[in-house]
Each structure stands twice: as C-alpha cells, then as structure tokens.
Amino acid sequence: MLSTIKNRLTSLLQLILVIIYIIFEEIIWEGIAKPIYDKIHALQIIQRMEHVIEKIPSYGILVIFSLLLLLVQGAGIFAGVLFLSGKILFGLLLYLSKIPIAAFTFWIFRISEDKLMQFGWFKWLYEWIMKAIEWLKTREMYVKTMERLLEVKKSIKKTFQQIKEKYFANESPFITKIQRLYNTVKGSLKK
C-alpha cells in the first residue's frame, strides 16, 4: 500500500514537471521567446552591445544576469499569483511582458556564458539543471506527451494548409471574389 502511494506520488510529480517543462520550453520558448530572441540578436545595436558586455568583468556580468533573472522569475511568480487570485488578464499581461526580458536575459547568458561558468557554484548549478532536464526528457510520460503534441501540431498544420488551399489559392473563387470587390471599391473611390 505504501509503495503504491509512493509510486502514484512519483508519477504525479513527474507529470507536473513534464507539463511545466513542455509549457515553458515547447510553447513559450519555442513559440514566443525564441523568435523574440532571434529578432533581438539580429539588431545591430545589440551586436554593438555584445562588444560592451564582453568588456564587463565576470562579477559585473553575474550581477546583471542575476538581477535580470530575478526580475523575470519574480514577474512569473507574481503573474501566477494574479492568475490564482482571479486577475487573469493582469496576470497574462504581466507574463507576456516578461517574455522579452527573458529573451534578453537568455541573450546575456549566451554571450557571457564563459564568464559565468568561471564561478564554480554557478557552473555546478547550470550542469545540475541541464542533467535534470535531460532526465525529464527520458521519462516515458514526456516522450508520450511530446509524441501527442507532434500529432496535434501536424493536424493543425494540415488544417491550415487545407484552408489556405481552399480559400487563398491563386485560382480560388474566394480570392477572385475578393479581388473583384476590391477593384469595385477602388473604382468607386476614384470617381
């Protein structure tokens, strides 16, 4: 009986960790934050900032990174509190507003990773987190959930493709009607 309860609690904990990881990694990071990170990284001003950041000593980088990380995590926790207190719109707005800051924080980490890894405790913590993520990805629950998400993504893409082909193809009757309407409105505005 005790081992059954232990197994169920372990499974529940794994499920919670898998869901949290999938939400943050697959949906928020891949869908929202990574495109923002890529856009930020492509800006010339950011590339100039990289040279400035490279000149900052290791302790300075640690302080900057830590403050940004605390800000992002604090905003996430506060957004969760707002959600739980019924202020869903404010919680959502706060959470969405923290995403660009999180992308910027990730950018700082990427360009100053060597300096941050000079701190033994930081390197140990980072490696421990990476090992925990790898462990989580080996769980059957994670693998099955990701397979299911892949099926859902394929289904959504297929549906969008069908809609695109039906309504937005070059020879589509829908597009032809829209073009005629546009030309009619354009012609009547010129008169």
Length of the chain, please?
191
How far, in Å, CA of 90 to CA of 86, rounded? 9
Could you tell me the CA-to-CA distances from 139 to 62, 97, 128, 135, 180 in Å, in that order?
Answer: 33, 32, 17, 7, 56
pLDDT value, residue 119: 94
Dihedral (Cα; 81, 82, 88, 93), 10-degree rounding = -110
Please say whether the beta carbons of 57 and 63 come within 8 A. Answer: no
Helices 140-167 & 173-190 angle (0-180, nearest 10)? 50
- Pick the range with the lowest mean pLDDT from 23-32, 38-47, 99-108, 148-157: 23-32
Q: Is the pLDDT of residue 62 over 90?
A: yes
Residue 66: predicted pLDDT = 92
Mean pLDDT calculated for residue range 118-131: 92
Q: Is 66 helix (H, G, I), strand (E, B) or coil?
A: helix
Distance CA 86, CA 82 (A): 6
Instruction: Output DSSP code: residue 55.
Output: T
Instruction: Report the range of poorest mean pLDDT among 30-44, 129-143, 156-170.
Output: 30-44
**Residues 81-122: pLDDT tens digits?**
887 888 888 888 888 888 778 878 888 888 899 999 999 999
- CB of 46 closer than 8 Å to CB of 116: no
Does the structure show a pLDDT above 80 at 124? yes
Give the residue, 119 or 155, on which the prediction is more confident.
119
CB 99 within 8 A of CB 42: no
DSSP track, 94-145: HHHHHHHHHHHHHHHHHHTHHHHTTSHHHHHHHHHHHHHHHHHHHSHHHHHH
CB-based contact 62:116 (threshold 8 Å): yes
Distance from C-alpha of 16 to C-alpha of 11, rounded to nearest angstrom:
9
* pLDDT on residue 155: 82
pLDDT tens per residue across span 67-78: 998 998 888 888
Q: Which of 12-16, 115-119, 123-127 has the lowest mean pLDDT?
A: 12-16
